[in-house]
Amino acid sequence: MRRYGSLLCLILIAGCGGGIESQIVGKWHVDPASIQVSRLAASVDKKEWADAKAVLGKTEVQFAGDGSVSATGFDMKSAAKWQLSGLTIKITGTVETWPNMVYDPHDKHIDMTAQENGDWLKMDLVR
């Protein structure tokens, strides 16, 4: 009987918050060092690019356990719903366009990619 009690405890521990979703729930922010773009306009100098990365680095995303998600940055706030499909985080219920997001369970960050007209912006969300 003791053996079954130990097994039951292990099953309960594994089932309580051990999923990928629980690793995503919480507050994240953009890592300025991770920001990459497919191309910069010729008129953008290094200081302007550094300033832009600093502003993006203040962007925060909060994933809640109830499936809601909010983002703040650029003096704006956006709210939507999120769900996980494999490691892809799908955002629904919003008029804004959110970047594509994929959770990396090994490095514990979220890869974000926004694409428009053949150009792209990539950045990581970190804790």
% the chain with pLDDT above 70 = 86
What percent of the chain is modeled with pLDDT above 90?
A: 77
Q: What is the pLDDT of residues 43-87, one digit of tens each?
A: 999 999 999 999 999 999 999 999 999 999 988 899 999 999 999
By residue range, what is the domain housing residue 35? 24-126
- Whether 106 is in a domain gets the answer yes
Please tell me whether the overall predicted TM-score, pTM, comes out greater than 0.95 for this model: no
Residue 14 lies in a domain: no
> Is there a contact between 123 and 36 (Cβ–Cβ < 8 Å)?
yes
71 falls within a domain: yes
Structural contact between residues 119 and 54, judged by C-beta atoms closer than 8 angstroms: no
Domains held by the chain: number? 1
Does residue 17 belong to any structural domain of this protein? no
Flag whether pLDDT at 8 surpasses 70: no
Residue 52, domain CATH: 2.40.128.270
